[in-house]
Copies of this chain bind each other. A is one copy, B any other.
């Protein structure tokens, strides 16, 4: 059942493409799933991939194209004529089609839409292109099964047969009034069990979750996840049913969001992949490194301010990286857990309660780590007062780092800013500076240098 893309197989395909043996390729890949074709396309040069697409049926290749990265797809499409692009788009669902058309250059966009034979498909795509990014309108597809409340079950089945032609999967059957206003949905079970003469109005379920075209994509994902929906209808400002969003789009959305948060925590500011160009990767990574550098220069400045400790307590300077690392680690832990909690709506209770909890945690962790430092000092025969100083100031640094790590994301979230930005280099860098300053300040108070 499983397709394995071996080097041998790949080389065979490449040879066939070089020989322009389209018929042999078609026979060879006849039974292969589009997702596997997509894997194959990824391994080919864009011009080879374009030839493969021309050789195979658009029904398969249009799906395979949608599995590719935007960048890869763009490169491949640049080797296809507008007519060939239009053929692919004709086979796509409207939501995918609109995404691909949006990626094309303006003048190609126009030409492609003009060439599309199915006029309804073309006008659906044009409509979808009008919605703002990150809204339900931009996410939805026009393909759906819609029946009128006045119909009978028999008429409904008849109409469904017709509509189902264009739809790969029937998620839900939506019921509208004669003007197209969403009234409810029909369960497959009811349709199967009702007598053919029953009117839809007597069997449909009037309770139906929906979103409007302007609902934000994040909110759509939240609703669909919370209420375990596999599809949700989309209505316009007048309540007219205009499209539907399915769970597979939301799966992609959830994955992308999780990756964005993860990259943010790692100090990568744009959506990049391991296979992007060096320039793109530099753009995504350098800004955070520069931020880190400035933070580091800040700590140089602070350390210079405590220069006098060099003579009596040089050991403090040996401990500086340790203190900075602890501050950074504690801060990132606290902020990561809050950022996730905020994303999942589990951060409950008052700010004060959260403060107490983080304080308790930091006290426990800080005390244990402080005792370890004192124990280490004992082993290497370090001045006891120095060990105590380091342990105490580390405890304070840990507490402050935990509080900063907790509050910065919460405050950002309350101000409507994505709290994920507070994780990673941002928290690490600011905690480095705070930590080092506090460490030396407290050491100065105790040791009096």
Contacts and interface: CB of A to CB of B under 8 A. Distances in A.
A347 B267 contact: no
A114 interface: no
A338 interface: yes
Most chain B C-beta atoms within 10 Å of own C-beta, residue among A192, A326, A329, A369: A329
Contact of A320 (B189, B289, B321, B346): B321
Interface stretch (A13-21, A49-57, A268-276): A268-276
Interface in A307-359: 307, 310, 314-315, 317-326, 328-330, 332-333, 335-338, 340-341, 344, 346-348, 354, 357
Nearest to A221: B251
Given A254-B254, A263-B340, A340-B263, A326 B372 contact: no
A429 B354 CA distance: 29
A155 interface: no
A306 to B, nearest CB: 9
Nearest to A286: B365
Interface stretch (A84-92, A105-113, A126-134, A226-234): A226-234
Interface string A260-297: 01110111100011110010011001101110110111
A170 interface: yes
Name A's interface SS. Answer: helix
Nearest to A320: B321
A256 to B, nearest CB: 10
A157 interface: yes
Copies per complex of this chain: 2
A368 interface: yes
Interface residues of A, number: 111
A361 B169 CA distance: 45
Contacts of A303: 317-318, 321
A174 interface: no
A227 to B, nearest CB: 5
B336 A319 contact: no
A425 interface: yes
A290 B193 CA distance: 63
A444 interface: no
Contacts of A267: 329, 332-333, 336
Nearest to A344: B273
A248 interface: yes
A228 B35 contact: yes
15 contacts: A35-B227, A161-B189, A161-B192, A170-B189, A263-B336, A267-B329, A268-B333, A273-B346, A274-B340, A275-B346, A275-B348, A286-B364, A296-B322, A299-B318, A304-B318
Given A273-B344, A274-B338, A303-B321, 15 more contacts: A165-B189, A167-B189, A262-B265, A265-B336, A266-B336, A275-B341, A285-B333, A285-B361, A288-B333, A292-B329, A317-B318, A325-B328, A325-B428, A328-B328, A328-B428
Across the A-B interface, the 9 shortest Cβ-Cβ residue pairs: A296-B322, A274-B341, A266-B336, A258-B258, A303-B318, A317-B317, A164-B189, A300-B318, A321-B324
